[in-house]
């Protein structure tokens, strides 16, 4: 990797120390912007088009327009990672509503700020926790509703995610999930959730960001002949699961050994979690659904 990370900013490639936004940027002032995170492993970006498609859905819903097409984003992401000479990378791409010089500004009247920031690959948990499983907290904070801030917006406005995570860490846990307003299990600040029970998988279908990794695990489960059902789950379902795992771009499956003070019954990671995670990484390493970087 080059001495300083190279960042793509508004059409230019600049070293991190020069990649600056204005304090008048609406992304900074109001959390007004959307983003996505794709990863590369062994020189191959995984499901890049699915990430860009999800990003475009957020841009469209948030009424944020850039002059960049899907192919332009593809090319810019690939070129930014190449310039950083990374093989295993986590790449965050962001559009904010940008800058206005007026104090009370018309939100329709902005030039968006565009950023692509690649970093070495990030795992949500260290090696020991990946091997032994994590302790998961259930937050008292609830998910936004679809008629307020639909969880499908992958947006910068994440204060409540941060609070939920801080409370979980303060309680001695590793990560957090929250419930929807209806009391069903939602998701965590950077991951979706699956349970295994009686040889079947269950995962929440509503009130969540539809994770690309969640989709990958559903596909892998189908290929492995494991039925996966999108269902309204309650905390009781988590407590009584045979296996429980979170999943995200930051590391694939992460087994849970304890949920809100209850130890998961069977072995951790359980056999289904282990099998699906192994197949996930095999897929990634084989280049399936991958975009080679070099």
Ligand X SMILES: Cc1ncc(COP(=O)(O)O)c(C=O)c1O
**Residues in contact with ligand X by the rule CB under 6 A:** 37, 187, 189-192, 209, 211-214, 248-249
CA distance 217 to 220: 5
| In the complex, least distance from residue 209 CB atom to ligand X, rounded to whole angstroms | 4
For residue 121 the two structure tokens come to 């690959």
Closer to ligand X at the Cβ: 47 or 100?
47
**Nearest distance from C-beta of residue 172 to ligand X, angstroms:** 22
In this complex, which beta carbon is closest to ligand X, that of residue 209 or of residue 244? 209
Q: How far is the CB of 44 from ligand X (least distance, A)?
A: 16
Is the Cβ of residue 99 or residue 238 nearer to ligand X in the bound state?
Answer: 238
Question: Based on CB atoms, which residue is closest to ligand X, 80 or 192?
Answer: 192
Task: Give kind and range of the element (H or E) at residue 108.
Answer: none
- Minimal distance, residue 11 CB to ligand X, in Å: 26
- Least CB distance from residue 104 to ligand X, whole Å? 31
Residue 139 is encoded by which pair of tokens? 């937050």
Nearest residue to ligand X, by Cβ distance, number only? 211
What's the CA gap between 21 and 99, in Å, rounded?
9
Q: How far apart are CA 262 and CA 173, in angstroms?
A: 12
DSSP letters, 126-187, are -HHHHHH-EEEEEEEEEPPPTTTT-TT--BS--HHHHHHHHHHHHTT-SEEEEE-TTS-B--
Please, what is the minimum distance in Å from the beta carbon of residue 257 to ligand X?
20
User: Contact, 140 vs 104, CB < 8 A?
Assistant: no
Interacting residues of 280 by C-beta distance below 8 A, sequence separation 6+: 213, 216, 217, 220, 252, 253
Nearer to ligand X, 44 or 100 (CB): 44
Q: Which is nearer to ligand X, 99 or 214 (CB)?
A: 214
């Amino acid at each position: 990797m080059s001495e300083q990370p190279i960042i793509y900013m508004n059409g230019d490639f600049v070293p991190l120390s020069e990649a600056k936004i204005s304090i008048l940027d609406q992304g900074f002032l109001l959390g007004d912007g959307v983003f996505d995170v794709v990863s590369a492993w062994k020189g191959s970006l995984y499901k890049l088009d699915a990430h860009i498609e999800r990003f475009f859905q957020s841009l469209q819903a948030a009424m944020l327009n850039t002059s960049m097409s899907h192919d332009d984003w593809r090319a810019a992401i690939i070129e930014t990672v190449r310039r950083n000479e990374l093989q295993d990378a986590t790449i965050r791409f962001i559009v904010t509503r940008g800058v206005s010089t007026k104090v009370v500004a018309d939100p329709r009247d902005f030039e968006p700020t565009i950023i692509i920031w690649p970093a070495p690959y990030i795992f949500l948990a260290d090696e020991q926790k990946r091997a032994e499983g994590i302790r998961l907290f259930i937050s008292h904070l609830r998910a936004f509703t679809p008629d307020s801030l639909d969880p499908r917006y992958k947006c910068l406005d994440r204060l409540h995610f941060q609070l939920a995570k801080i409370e979980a860490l303060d309680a001695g846990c590793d990560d957090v999930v929250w419930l929807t307003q209806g009391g069903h299990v939602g998701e965590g600040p950077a991951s979706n959730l699956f349970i295994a029970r009686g040889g079947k998988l269950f995962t929440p279908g509503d009130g969540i960001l539809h994770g690309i990794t969640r989709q990958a695990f559903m596909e892998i489960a189908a290929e492995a002949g494991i039925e996966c059902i999108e269902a309204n789950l309650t905390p009781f379902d988590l407590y009584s699961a045979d296996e429980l795992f979170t999943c995200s771009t930051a590391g694939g499956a992460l087994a849970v050994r304890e949920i809100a003070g209850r130890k998961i019954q069977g072995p951790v990671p359980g056999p289904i979690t282990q099998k699906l995670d192994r197949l996930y990484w095999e897929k990634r390493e084989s280049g399936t659904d991958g975009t080679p970087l070099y």
